[in-house]
């Protein structure tokens, strides 16, 4: 096992306006599971391929353990990789597919048998060892790819959207299995996905990327609760974080009529515009007479089973509110809301960066 250290990695493809990867520095401690999360086209695969050695960086450094591997070919990096497309050999049986990397390394046959049996058992492929991939489901094929990646005792495991070709139910089941498996193996893992739920559920840490650059690297709960900027707040969560624009006046934030008491840390923003970020489930439903109650007009009522999602407007600004499953309301009605101070996250509209109101 080994830690991964990325130093100022840049990848600029010829003819591209902006680099695909822009000065990414990231440390992944030994044994940690880090998820690289971002929208399609933000440079995740390019970054992973530079770690793997499939792509040369324009500048920067890749260090695995105590070796600078930036210019080493993939086979000298002792890593294994799982791709989005299953990439199994169609003309080899499952057994030979899983053992492929071991055979390439010249491992004795009986030892290969033992390791293949071990991986097949972990991935519930024991009954399929003598089948060809064409006779497997998509989920089973991806299990073969994962089994092949884990048998080789690599220092580092790299996975690029391995679940995204599976249907929703299978994805959910395999996600939990993968999490258990990787935590038992303890292999340093870098996992790429555009799916924010997957990122939160799997990662010890989540590295959020946008336009080639890292935005925030933190635990799943930190990126969810305290996004570093509006992009992260808006990308993570379903629904995304709400944003309401207001002006700081006379100890209040004026949301265009409704007033919120200004948190002490916003005092220096008197006279300026700020943006309030708040999660749908953090908003409380209160009586009209409650202190600081904010009126909201219900536009859409959506029962989701486990909860009710309300699309409302507060002085013309849209606000999504999550209410208990049994809550009933009609479009057009007025609700009274409360935004608890501990769930308020404030942003500077000019930079879209969070104002660190909680850490001061």
Ligand X SMILES: Nc1ncnc2c1ncn2[C@@H]1O[C@H](COP(=O)(O)OP(=O)(O)O)[C@@H](O)[C@H]1O
What are the angstrom distances between the C-alpha of 298 and each of 124, 176, 196, 242, 333?
49, 37, 28, 15, 6
Ranges within 281-340 binding Mg ion (CB under 5 A): none
**Given the complex with ligand X, which of 40 and 289 has the nearer CB atom?**
40
> Under the criterion CB under 6 A, does residue 16 sit at the interface with ligand X?
yes
Rounded CA-CA distance 238/217 in Å is 20
CA atoms within 13 A on the CB side of 135: 11
Find which of Mg ion, ligand X, none residue 43 binds, CB within 5 to 8 Å per kind: ligand X
Q: How far is the CB of 230 from ligand X (least distance, A)?
A: 20
**Pseudo-torsion of CA 161, 186, 138, 119, nearest 10°?**
150
How many residues lie near ligand X (CB under 6 A)? 11
**Given the complex with ligand X, which of 84 and 344 has the nearer CB atom?**
84
> Under the criterion CB under 6 A, does residue 199 sit at the interface with ligand X?
no
Angle at the Cα of 323 from the Cα atoms of 317 and 327, rounded to 5 degrees: 120
Which of 41, 126, 256, 264 contacts ligand X by CB under 6 A?
41
The residue sitting closest to Mg ion, measured at its beta carbon, is 45
Whether 144 contacts 122, CB under 8 Å? no
Find which of Mg ion, ligand X, none residue 233 binds, CB within 5 to 8 Å per kind: none
Rounded CA-CA distance 132/72 in Å is 34
Whether 280 contacts 239, CB under 8 Å? yes
Q: How far is the CB of 45 from Mg ion (least distance, A)?
A: 3
> Under the criterion CB under 6 A, does residue 20 sit at the interface with ligand X?
yes
**Given the complex with ligand X, which of 212 and 246 has the nearer CB atom?**
212
> Under the criterion CB under 6 A, does residue 52 sit at the interface with ligand X?
no
Q: How far is the CB of 198 from ligand X (least distance, A)?
A: 14
Q: How far is the CB of 58 from ligand X (least distance, A)?
A: 12
> Under the criterion CB under 5 A, does residue 193 sit at the interface with Mg ion?
no
Beta bridge partners of 317: 314
Which of 17, 40, 73, 342 contacts ligand X by CB under 6 A?
40
**Given the complex with ligand X, which of 194 and 345 has the nearer CB atom?**
194
Q: Which two tokens stand for residue 320?
A: 């999504």
Whether 214 contacts 26, CB under 8 Å? yes
> Under the criterion CB under 6 A, does residue 44 sit at the interface with ligand X?
yes
**Given the complex with Mg ion, which of 22 and 230 has the nearer CB atom?**
22
> Under the criterion CB under 6 A, does residue 275 sit at the interface with ligand X?
no
Ranges within 30-89 binding Mg ion (CB under 5 A): 45
Angle at the Cα of 178 from the Cα atoms of 35 and 20, rounded to 5 degrees: 30
> Under the criterion CB under 6 A, does residue 17 sit at the interface with ligand X?
no
DSSP 47-113: HHHHHHTSS--SEEEEEETTEE-TTS-GGGS-EEEE-SS----TTS-HHHHHHHHHHHTT--HHHHH
**Given the complex with ligand X, which of 17 and 91 has the nearer CB atom?**
17
Q: How far is the CB of 54 from ligand X (least distance, A)?
A: 10
DSSP 198: H
**Beta-carbon contacts of residue 133 (< 8 Å; ≥ 6 apart):** 86, 88, 89, 90, 92, 94, 97, 141, 144
| Interaction site with Mg ion (CB under 5 A) | 45
Residues found near ligand X in the complex (CB under 6 A) = 13, 16, 20, 38, 40-46
């Amino acid at each position: 096992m080994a830690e991964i250290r990325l130093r100022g990695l840049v990848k600029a493809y010829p003819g591209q306006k902006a680099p695909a990867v822009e000065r990414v520095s990231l440390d992944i401690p030994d044994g940690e599971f880090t998820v690289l999360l971002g929208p399609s086209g933000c440079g995740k695969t390019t970054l992973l391929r530079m770690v793997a050695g499939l792509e040369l960086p324009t500048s920067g450094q890749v260090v695995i353990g105590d070796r600078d591997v930036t210019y080493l070919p993939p086979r000298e990096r002792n890593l294994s990789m799982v791709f989005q497309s299953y990439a199994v050999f169609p003309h080899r049986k499952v057994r030979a597919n899983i053992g492929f990397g071991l055979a390439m390394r010249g491992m004795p046959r009986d030892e290969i048998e033992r390791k293949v049996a071990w991986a097949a058992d972990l991935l519930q492929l024991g009954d399929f060892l003598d089948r060809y991939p064409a006779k497997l489901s998509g989920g089973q094929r991806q299990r073969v790819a994962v089994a092949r990646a884990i048998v080789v005792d690599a220092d580092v495991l790299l996975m690029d959207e391995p679940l995204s070709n599976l249907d929703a139910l299978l994805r959910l089941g395999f996600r939990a299995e993968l999490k258990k498996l990787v935590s038992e193996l303890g292999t340093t893992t870098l996992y790429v996905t555009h799916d924010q739920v997957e990122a939160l559920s799997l990662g010890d840490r989540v590295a959020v990327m946008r336009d080639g650059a890292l935005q925030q690297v933190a635990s799943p709960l930190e990126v969810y609760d305290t996004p570093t900027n509006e992009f992260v707040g808006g990308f993570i969560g379903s629904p995304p974080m709400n944003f309401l624009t207001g002006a700081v006046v006379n100890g209040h934030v004026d949301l265009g009529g409704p007033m919120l008491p200004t948190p002490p840390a916003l005092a220096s923003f008197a006279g300026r515009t700020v943006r309030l970020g708040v999660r749908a489930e953090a908003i409380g439903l209160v009586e009209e007479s409650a202190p600081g109650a904010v009126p909201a007009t219900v536009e859409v009522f959506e029962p989701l089973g486990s909860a009710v999602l309300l699309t409302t407007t507060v002085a013309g600004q849209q606000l999504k509110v999550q209410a208990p499953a049994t809550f009933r309301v009609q479009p057009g009605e007025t609700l009274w809301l409360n935004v608890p101070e501990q769930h308020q996250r404030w942003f500077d509209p000019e930079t879209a960066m969070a104002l660190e109101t909680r850490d001061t």
